[in-house]
Copies of this chain bind each other. A is one copy, B any other.
Amino acid sequence: MPIERKLKYSKLQYEARARVAKALAHPSRLLILDAIADGEKCVCELTELVDADQSTVSKHLAILKQAGIIADRKDRSKTFYRPTICCLKGFWECIESVLKENLKAQQAAMGR
């Protein structure tokens, strides 16, 4: 039996998933997602929050948009970004659990 048969998904499918995960794997991008969770924000607002060069923030936004995680709306000279999906909750919860477990394990190791 070819090894591929033992996998639940194809390599291509894992690559597609990794592309999305990669877009989420940067502190500034997580901050941005949190910031627009309650409502759209323009690039200038996000630039202030992230505290980096405007071009840097713009590139982060392009990465998130390319991954299909956010969408934009242009109004006059501004561009507003918003999440396209509501499912990020599951993502956050997962990350949180890992961090919480790590903390627990760390404390257990300290008390040993």
Contacts and interface: CB of A to CB of B under 8 A. Distances in A.
Interface SS of chain A: helix
A18 B34 contact: no
A20 interface: yes
Contact of A30 (B14, B98, B102): B14
Contacts of A28: 14
- Please give the count of copies of this chain that the complex contains: 2
Interface in A21-76: 21-22, 24-31, 34-35, 48-49, 51, 67-69
15 contacts: A3-B48, A6-B35, A7-B31, A9-B31, A14-B34, A17-B95, A20-B98, A21-B24, A21-B25, A21-B95, A22-B25, A68-B98, A89-B94, A90-B90, A90-B93
